[in-house]
Amino acid sequence: MRVLRRRLGLTQRELAYVVGHDSDSGHVSRIENGSRTPQLAEVLMFELVFGVPATTIFPQVRLAVGSSIVQRLKHVTADLRGSASLRPRVSYKAAQLERVLASLRSRDGIDRSGLNSWHSEI
């Protein structure tokens, strides 16, 4: 995010003001150095200001969210597969969740352990 801010020629104080934190440059500093995760509204504001997708601005957040989702989907799918023979609808649901997992793996490079193989610095 720091590189994007500097490309626009903005100081941390100016960017903080633009996204609604008056002149609290410390707020932007904490987001830039990773000690604070931005809230959804802030993420959307940064995306609008920089004209870059939020997942590009905050790849570390995407990595954490993607890994968490994959692990939870795997857990739910395993639970469903355990009872799939009892009800056809449960089997269908498990198959749908497996498609979501496959899509995440192929689209975002999330491997079987839930770790994201891509990481870009901007």
Do 12 and 49 have their domain in common?
yes
Residue 117 lies in a domain: no
What are the b/e assignments for 20-44, b being 16+ CB within 10 Å?
ebeeebebbbebbeeeeebeeebbe
Do 32 and 77 have their domain in common?
no
Pick 116 or 31 by higher pLDDT: 31
User: pTM of this prediction?
Assistant: 0.66
Identify the pLDDT of residue 108: 64
> Which residues lie below 8 Å from residue 55, measured CB to CB, with a gap of 6+?
62
Residue 21 lies in a domain: yes
Do 52 and 63 have their domain in common?
no
Provide the number of structural domains found in the chain. Answer: 2
Q: What is the mean pLDDT of the chain?
A: 82
Residue 90 lies in a domain: yes
- 53-105 pLDDT tens trace: 998 999 888 888 888 888 888 888 888 877 756 677 777 888 888 888 888 88
Residue 46 corresponds to which tokens in the numbers above?
């940064």
Identify the pLDDT of residue 88: 74
